[in-house]
A and B are shown apart, each in its own frame.
Chain A
Amino acid sequence: AQSVSQHNHHVILSEAASLELGCNYSYGGTVNLFWYVQYPGQHLQLLLKYFSGDPLVKGIKGFEAEFIKSKFSFNLRKPSVQWSDTAEYFCAVNARAAGNKLTFGGGTRVLVKP
């Protein structure tokens, strides 16, 4: 079945460490890609999105993601995390092949230790 995969379920790291969260999808054709963050007790917020153009996308709060079409990947990165980045991160794909519906990955729970 076509899907969106996030490789890490849980990530624990210290402040100032670098973060990279993997996301792979299996849809062919045109895709739009998103990373959302869900802070404890809050609703989903958009971190960044890719529709077209430069495959390196910069988002809010110092996050960026790189779309590598040949690898069907859209990994999220942040060079130096803060305690406030503790949250759950979701990759999502809107694919024409999936009927233009937003499909989410399983999520990665990130804990940043102060």
Chain B
Amino acid sequence: GAVVSQHPSRVICKSGTSVKIECRSLDFQATTMFWYRQFPKKSLMLMATSNEGSKATYEQGVEKDKFLINHASLTLSTLTVTSAHPEDSSFYICSAREGARMNTEAFFGQGTRLTVV
């Protein structure tokens, strides 16, 4: 399958600082990228969907000013957690797919564990 690389895999930051997480599609052009958050022992919750060159569409309850998403190219999307607080500590996962059609498979990055101290 196609490869999606997420960086960093782990990050620890202080409260009040911002953290940027990168998601890259290595061998395909990602028309659409998704950002998920996974709480301990919980499922993946979709945070936002981004299409290359467009503003991200955020799910209900997700603060767009806190979780800034940029999808400036067909191979890179970034999630920036601004003014991080301990409650933002979580496992963040991106996925990417090449097309917008329903029957297009999405591939997942390895995830980023964010700890805010």
Q: Which residues of A contact B (CB under 8 A)?
A: 30, 32, 36, 42-46, 49, 51-52, 90, 94, 96, 100-107, 109
User: Given A32-B102, A100-B100, A101-B49, are A44 and B108 neighbors across the interface (CB < 8 Å)?
Assistant: yes
Q: Which residues of B contact A (CB under 8 A)?
A: 1, 6, 34, 36, 41-46, 49, 93, 95, 100, 102-103, 105-111
- Once bound together, how far apart are the Cα atoms of A91 and B93, in whole Å? 16
How many whole Å from A27's CB to the nearest CB in chain B?
A: 12
Check A90 against B43 for contact (C-beta < 8 Å): yes
- Once bound together, how far apart are the Cα atoms of A36 and B95, in whole Å? 13
When distances are taken between beta carbons in the complex, the residues of chain B under 8 Å from A103 are: 46
- Once bound together, how far apart are the Cα atoms of A96 and B45, in whole Å? 18
User: Among the listed B34, B95, B105, which residue makes an inter-chain contact with A49, where contact means beta carbons less than 8 Å apart?
Assistant: B105
Check B95 against A102 for contact (C-beta < 8 Å): yes
Check A43 against B109 for contact (C-beta < 8 Å): yes
- Minimal Cβ-Cβ distance residue in B for A100: B102
Check B42 against A106 for contact (C-beta < 8 Å): yes
- Once bound together, how far apart are the Cα atoms of A105 and B49, in whole Å? 18
